[in-house]
């Protein structure tokens, strides 16, 4: 099967905790990372995700961070084998 133009290629698993450190949930962001220099494109996407998380954390008072990132296939495998419950 051919990959669609905008099909996600990279995933981020985010953990969310209360200010007190109580785990609330894991959630996932899937992104399409493309460009002539894939490493540079990936760095830009990672920076955007971190800026977004910082902004959400600042507004909500929650603690958010990337606990896992990689290709969609790699993240799928780790999530399946480790028992992450993605909300």
Domain assignment of residue 61, yes or no: yes
Domain assignment of residue 71, yes or no: yes
Q: Which domain holds residue 35?
A: 10-82
36-75 residue pLDDT tens: 888 898 999 999 999 999 999 999 999 999 999 999 999 9
DSSP output for 19-57? TT--EEEEEEEEE---SSSHHHHHHHHHHHHHHHHHHHH
71-87 residue pLDDT tens: 999 999 999 999 889 98
Domain assignment of residue 45, yes or no: yes
pTM of the model: 0.84
Domain assignment of residue 25, yes or no: yes
Span 22-47, mean pLDDT?
91
């Amino acid at each position: 099967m051919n990959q669609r133009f905008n099909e996600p290629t990279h995933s981020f698993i985010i953990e969310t905790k209360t200010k007190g450190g109580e785990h609330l949930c894991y959630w996932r962001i899937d992104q399409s990372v493309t460009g002539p220099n894939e490493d540079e494109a990936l760095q830009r996407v990672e920076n955007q995700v971190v800026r977004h998380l910082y902004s959400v954390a600042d507004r909500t008072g929650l603690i958010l961070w990337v606990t896992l990132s990689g290709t969609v296939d790699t993240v799928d495998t780790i999530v399946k084998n480790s028992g992450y419950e993605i909300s």
